[in-house]
């Protein structure tokens, strides 16, 4: 049986690389984009193997229709890749309400709604893979991209909680967390808030760096796409997968700082327990609570 991939943001960047890789691997692909006519070259090459689907991930009705269209055409969805998104840079106080809303709708609410629309079909199949394209910015905070990273932290958290919920149904969830890749994330896909006084050394520095010609990401999107193809077939996929040596170095550094801070403040952390907390954990209710929280 040929597996069916449902990929958002298929017309550019990493989404385009993943779409090409999935087609080359002989999978059937529902390739979604705001402008599916941009997929013409792939349609001409792969014919009925690809189903172009119009989808604005902020439109809940379009999400429902896109999933239903795919199921009607291919009969199933085996791999969901929530990739569509864009970046935005600026001081937290400088973003307009519309900029904040569009970030959360595209980078967080959209993937959540698409996941929710696909899950009933995967649940009935008792099988499926969900690859959430988050970001190393979903694990590490960086000045200038607060709202983008708020969305990505949310997506990584949603994925981490969802994974054990659906695993008994044969559905595997992975939060894919790339560092910088050679896509148009910092180019055509990036928007900016107005510059305001006081943030020159933080947000201003990041803004000028991204707008200039010094930002040359280390990651190759075609190599990342091949990793995702292999990941979708792996019998024991990871819950989090960081991509890129730049991202791994950043994460190792921040994890060490977080660990040191956690240990420094641990006495304060533990000082807030109720006096009978230790006794509660020895009861049946306490053991059940510990199991749910994963602290047994």
Show Cβ contacts of residue 259 under 8 Å, excluding neighbours closer than 6 positions. none
Strands of the sheet with 50-54, listed across from one edge: 50-54, 28-33, 4-7, 79-82, 128-133, 171-178, 240-243
**134 is an active site residue:** yes
Per the DSSP assignment, residues forming a β-bridge with 51 are: 30
Please report which helix (H) or strand (E) contains residue 156, including its range.
helix 146-166
Establish whether 109 is a catalytic residue.
no
The residue from 10, 134, 156, 175 that is catalytic is 134
Active site residue 148: yes
Q: Which two three-digit tokens encode residue 167? A: 């695993």
Residue 267 and residue 135: Cα distance in Å, rounded? Answer: 32
Question: Choosing from 109, 148, 175, 199, which is the catalytic residue?
Answer: 148
Tokens of 46: 């792969």
Instruction: Please pick, among 109, 152, 156, 175, the residue that the annotation labels catalytic.
Output: 152
The Cα–Cα gap between 30 and 19 comes to: 9
Active site residues: 134, 148, 152
């Amino acid at each position: 049986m040929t597996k069916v991939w449902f990929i958002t943001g298929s017309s550019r960047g990493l989404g385009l690389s993943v779409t090409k890789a999935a087609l080359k691997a002989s999978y059937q692909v529902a390739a979604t984009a705001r402008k599916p006519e941009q997929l013409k070259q792939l349609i001409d090459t792969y014919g009925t193997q690809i189903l172009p689907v119009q989808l604005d991930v902020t439109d809940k009705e379009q999400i429902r229709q896109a999933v239903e269209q795919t199921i009607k055409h291919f009969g199933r969805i085996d791999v969901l890749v929530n990739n569509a998104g864009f970046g935005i840079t600026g001081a937290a106080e400088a973003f307009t309400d519309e900029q904040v809303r569009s970030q959360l709708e595209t980078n967080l609410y959209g993937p959540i709604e698409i996941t929710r629309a696909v899950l009933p079909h995967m649940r009935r199949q008792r099988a499926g893979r969900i690859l959430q394209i988050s970001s190393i910015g979903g694990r590490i905070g960086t000045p200038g991209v607060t709202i983008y990273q708020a969305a990505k932290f949310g997506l990584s958290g949603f994925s981490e909680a969802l994974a054990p919920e659906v695993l008994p149904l044969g559905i595997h969830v992975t939060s894919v967390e790339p560092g910088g890749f050679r896509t148009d994330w910092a180019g055509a896909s990036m928007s900016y808030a107005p510059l305001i006084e006081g943030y020159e050394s933080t947000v201003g520095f990041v803004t000028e760096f991204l707008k200039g010609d010094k930002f040359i990401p280390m990651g190759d999107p075609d190599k990342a796409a091949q990793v995702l193809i292999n990941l979708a077939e792996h019998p024991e996929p990871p819950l989090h997968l960081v991509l890129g040596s730049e991202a791994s170095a950043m994460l190792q550094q921040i994890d060490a700082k977080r660990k040191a801070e956690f240990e420094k403040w641990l006495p304060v952390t533990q000082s807030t327990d109720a006096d009978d907390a230790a006794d509660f954990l020895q009861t049946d209710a306490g053991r059940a609570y510990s199991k749910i929280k994963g602290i047994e």
